[in-house]
Structure 1
Amino acid sequence: MTALVAVSMLVAGCDKTPADLHGLPKDAAERATQCGRAALAYTAAGGDKDAAEQKRRQDLLQKVIDATDFFSAIGLDDAKGKALLGDIKGTLAGGNWLATLNNCKAAYALGDAEPLPKLPDDPKTKPAACAAVAVAASFKDGTMDPTQLQKKVLSDPQSSYFLIAAAGQDGGLAAAQNAMASQVEWAIASGAVGPLTDACVKEYPKAAANAAVTLPADDGQAVAACSFSVGLFRELGGAEGDMAQAVQKKLEASKAIPDLDLATSPKKLIAQALDLGPPANVLKACDARFK
């Protein structure tokens, strides 16, 4: 019995699975790889820092490797293990490595969380930055084909909402798209797409991807809102484009006249769109409203 107890204590002592995973994978190898790559990405991002900060990040990387028992967890030799660890292209493209690192630090009690970047204070820049964060989140596979950018922006409920919010500033939709595009690199390089997304939704609650949309009871106001969303998606192609064209036909068949005060004022249309919620969700509500 004593021997069995001793063995069980030894096994328990070797188990480095945190009591609270903080959202990290349950599998030890997957968790060690994710944490190691996040720490390596953080170390690489500190290349322009002073020597003391660079050393601090390198030391943190080693602590993460040790805490997760990286090489034992992945079951690879030194050379193959380092190759696996160093393959951080996907980690960087995902844009959320800093948030992952903080989860790892919390799970393994490695000290305080690293500071997260904040949204711009400028109210004219903030919505464009949020649109860029949403776009960065949709480019997890590392694809940055400019031809796909507009489609990704509009088809994603959150980025399309933020784009409209940016369009509400000076310059309209075209200027908003340029402002958003200029922030995408910052969003990815932040390493905190997840926390920044949370901050954006807190700033703009109606941008929540699952936000329910209730169209105005007045048909004229509803038609104006639906026509606005149709205009955004009609030429997009894919499921959203098909739905937009279907909704357009329903609007024409209904013979409902749009509220002219709304339909002739881009600023009022944008304000209405922001009050309703993500334009993709508005389009779905329009499809259900008009038969």
Structure 2
Amino acid sequence: MKYGGMAALLTAALVLAGCDNTPADLHGLPKDAAERATLCGRSALAYAAAGSGKGAAEEKRRQELLQTIVDKTGFFSATGLDDEKGKALLGDIQDTLKGGNWLGTLNQCKAAYALGDPEPLPKLPTEPKEKPAACAAVAVAAAFGDGSSDLAALQKNVLMNPQSSYFLIAAANQDGGMAAAQNAMASKVEWAIASGAVGPLTDACVKEYPKAAATTAVTLPADEGQAVAACGFNAGLLGTLEGEEGAMAKAVAKKLQDGGMMPDLALAGSPKKLLEQALDLGPPANVLKACGARFK
């Protein structure tokens, strides 16, 4: 993301301003005036930076909102910093951008200081083939905000996350394959991070795909052949991973092989049916846990 230069230009335009103006209702914001002013200022700066390329009128509106929030929160008086140090503190928005939820914070600040209607939250794509890939990208963005710094590694290890792996299967079911689904997901990761609304988008994705939120044990099909097909598919899916997930997948695959267990051939021979079964069961890691318990 190319926010660094824009952020510098925007912060350079700020003027020394403001006095303490603590809202009666903080709307979930920090009680400490300096912490609150910094949080609100940085979220507004992130929003202003994200407005680049959206037209002169919109860019001006966002910069004016930034200045208004700096004034209303009494940023400089609350932090006790001079102009130069205050701008430096306000302009340090890399963690804000990485966290991916600054738009929600901005709306909290607008509500607390009575600054008008909330800014609209981004929506998931309406196109069925794009929606699950977007949700997988949102899950990757959430992991990025949790502290992982290598975005490329996160994209490669998307199967290790229960939610993103489930969304990726949903995307594969639409696109006709995992490679196409991974490419579609990768194309939307920057959009997800830059949305500033990873939290609300995650909620929207789980609402769209309730099975992605499943935390309870998966119930495998009673029919042994169908269960073996499900376990074989998910073991193959996660078998190339490192760590606990990969080890679990390899252990399940070995149990099936050593036991000479045969899958339902009609199911095992149809990638489409396997994907549909996987979506019905839930996240692959949850399925493998059920497989480990079923086939000992």
Question: TM-score interval w.r.t. the shorter chain?
Answer: 0.7 to 0.9
Unaligned residue ranges in structure 2 (runs of 5+): 1-18
Aligned 8 A contact 2:20 2:78 in 1: no
Aligned 8 A contact 1:130 1:159 in 2: yes
Which of 142, 148, 155 is 2:160 aligned to? 155
Aligned-partner Cα distance in 2 for 1:195–1:203: 12
Amino acid at match of 2:194: A
- Return 99-108 or 221-230, whichever deviates more: 99-108
Number of equivalences: 277
Which of 59, 65, 76 is 1:60 aligned to? 65
Amino acid at match of 2:231: C
- 1:45 CA displacement: 1.4
Which of 200, 206, 229 is 2:211 aligned to? 206
Please state whether the residue corresponding to 1:169 is helix, strand or coil. Answer: helix
Aligned-partner Cα distance in 2 for 1:14–1:74: 10
Aligned-partner Cα distance in 1 for 2:169–2:193: 21
Equivalent in the alignment of 1:143: 149
- 1:206 CA displacement: 1.0
Aligned 8 A contact 2:143 2:154 in 1: no
Compared with structure 1, are the counterparts of its residues 211 and 62 closer, same or farther at alpha carbon in structure 2 (3 Å cutoff)? farther
Aligned 8 A contact 1:130 1:200 in 2: yes
State yes or no: 1:79 paired with 2:77. Answer: no
TM-score normalised to structure 2 length: 0.85
Aligned 8 A contact 1:167 1:175 in 2: yes
TM-score normalised to structure 1 length: 0.86
Aligned 8 A contact 1:212 1:277 in 2: no
Q: Say what the alpha-carbon RMSD is for the aligned residues.
A: 2.3
Aligned 8 A contact 2:20 2:33 in 1: no
Within 5 A, what are the aligned runs for 1:156-171? Answer: 156-171=161-176
- 1:145 CA displacement: 4.2
Aligned-partner Cα distance in 1 for 2:248–2:120: 42
Amino acid at match of 1:21: H
Aligned 8 A contact 2:235 2:250 in 1: yes
Amino acid at match of 1:222: A
State yes or no: 1:237 paired with 2:242. Answer: yes
Aligned-partner Cα distance in 1 for 2:77–2:213: 41
- 1:17 CA displacement: 5.5
Aligned 8 A contact 2:132 2:170 in 1: yes
- Return 56-65 or 244-253, whichever deviates more: 244-253
Please state whether the residue corresponding to 1:114 is helix, strand or coil. Answer: coil
State yes or no: 1:182 paired with 2:195. Answer: no
Equivalent in the alignment of 2:128: 123
Aligned-partner Cα distance in 1 for 2:27–2:288: 39
Amino acid at match of 1:101: L
Aligned 8 A contact 1:211 1:278 in 2: no
Compared with structure 1, are the counterparts of its residues 221 and 21 closer, same or farther at alpha carbon in structure 2 (3 Å cutoff)? same
Unaligned residue ranges in structure 1 (runs of 5+): 1-12
